[in-house]
Amino acid sequence: MFEYLKQSWPTLWPTLGAIGVILAFVPVLGLYMTFIERKLAAYVQDRLGPNRVGPFGILQAIADAIKLFLKEQIIPDHVYTFLYFIAPTFSLMTAMFALVVMPFGPVPTEYTEGFRYIVAPGIDIGIMMMIAISSLSAYGIILGGWASNNKYSLYGAIRSCAQFISYEIPLGLSIIGIIAASGSLNIEQIVSSQGGAIWNWNIFWQPLALIVFFTSALAETNRLPFDLAECEQELVGGFHTEYGGIKFVLFFLAEYTHVVTVSFLTALLFFGGWHFPGLTGPVDANLGGMLLRTFVLVFKVTMVVGFIMLLRWSLPRFRFDQLMGLAWKGLIPLALLNFLCVAIVLTYDLPKHYLALTALFLVAGSMVSARHLQHTINRPRSEGRPATNVNLTESAI
């Protein structure tokens, strides 16, 4: 056994190193994403935010972590104990496993020795594997809602199940166009196909796919305006009503991990990944080039994360019927149109510039949706219009 480990060590240690980076940084990243979101929420709402613990409040996340670890673990008598404990653990495990095929830095195509910014490089079905694993996170929420033996938690779990099933469809359809255009399911190869000029980035050729993908992925993170599984105005706290302390933290660490995963995927699939004008050559083992490309990717991911946080504090929550209508009546038809356009362009070997015209479908769909919404709001009560339900965003943390 030791001889086998000695022989495989040159290829084993980069994998163990990448796993160590993920296990070390994801919990800390989750803590400080909470702090950053609180500061961003304070900026949006014209207040100070956390500013007491440490310079500018930067140690507030550490203080919160200590408090939550030392908090008494209260277990309600009416819960199904085994599933009650398994649910938050399962949510975090699936969120972490999805990062196995996620490149968090430049990965050279031919470079097989030394540290790599990915746990499992060269997986030919990497993107499908990631979507399959991340979709399992719904089971954590469903188990938590069921095991809590609480009607509010159960309602939140059922909402989450319907939401995940609905938004998985447009999410997958939006990615099919990218896969077909790049000719690979390997995430590293999809990024490589966007090398060269900035105009090779998929955002310019499939803007409709970007909107459908980002909206669907945001819905799968259970964040505003899609957090119907934990809607406190209706469900107290939804699926996590009966959870507190470290168990509560595991649920939200999984949520922030999903946010990071969505942000990485958005940057890798649509914004060129680690490519940038002036960094258009092949990725090699040069340390300076690797670090510069890593900075480019992290910067793009940071911008996407910041946008997701701003959306939380800018948009009101949907009603559940609006949530389902957006997926089945809006995103799925748009995703099918995008895939049809990609298929026509590839089949007849047309210039990919034509795919940019798919943005017209998005404009047309937005106009139809706005008109329908305005008609619904202005319809008299005598015609059976439901009372307008305006849900404000969550109060500041």
Asked if residues 119 and 62 have their Cβ atoms less than 8 Å apart, the reply is no
The answer to the question of residue 302 being in a domain is: yes
Digit-coded pLDDT (tens) for 287-312: 777 788 888 899 999 999 999 988 88
The answer to the question of residue 390 being in a domain is: no
pLDDT of residue 393: 41
pLDDT of residue 299: 92
The answer to the question of residue 169 being in a domain is: yes
pLDDT of residue 373: 64
The closest of 382, 160, 194 to 279, measured between CA atoms, is: 194
As to burial, measured by CB atoms within 10 angstroms (0-12 exposed, 13-18 middle, 19+ buried), residue 52 is: exposed
Q: Is 32 left (phi over 0), alpha (psi -120 to 50) or beta?
A: alpha
pLDDT of residue 392: 40
Q: What is this structure's pTM? A: 0.85
pLDDT of residue 394: 40
The closest of 134, 141, 136, 93 to 240, measured between CA atoms, is: 141
Question: For the chain, which residues score pLDDT lower than 70?
Answer: 1-2, 4-10, 108-115, 279-286, 372-373, 376-397
The answer to the question of residue 26 being in a domain is: yes
pLDDT of residue 300: 93
- What's the full length of the chain, in residues? 397
Digit-coded pLDDT (tens) for 131-187: 888 888 888 888 888 888 888 888 888 888 888 888 989 999 999 989 988 888 888
The answer to the question of residue 87 being in a domain is: yes
- DSSP, collapsed to helix, strand or coil, labels residue 90 as helix
The answer to the question of residue 389 being in a domain is: no
SS3 content of the chain, % helix, strand, coil (to 5): 70, 0, 30
As to burial, measured by CB atoms within 10 angstroms (0-12 exposed, 13-18 middle, 19+ buried), residue 232 is: middle
The answer to the question of residue 394 being in a domain is: no
Tell me how far CA of residue 390 lies from CA of 5, 312, 346, 386, in angstroms.
61, 15, 45, 12
pLDDT of residue 113: 60
Structural domain count, the chain: 1
The answer to the question of residue 355 being in a domain is: yes
Range of the domain at 116: 2-383
Q: 262: which 2 tokens?
A: 């969505």
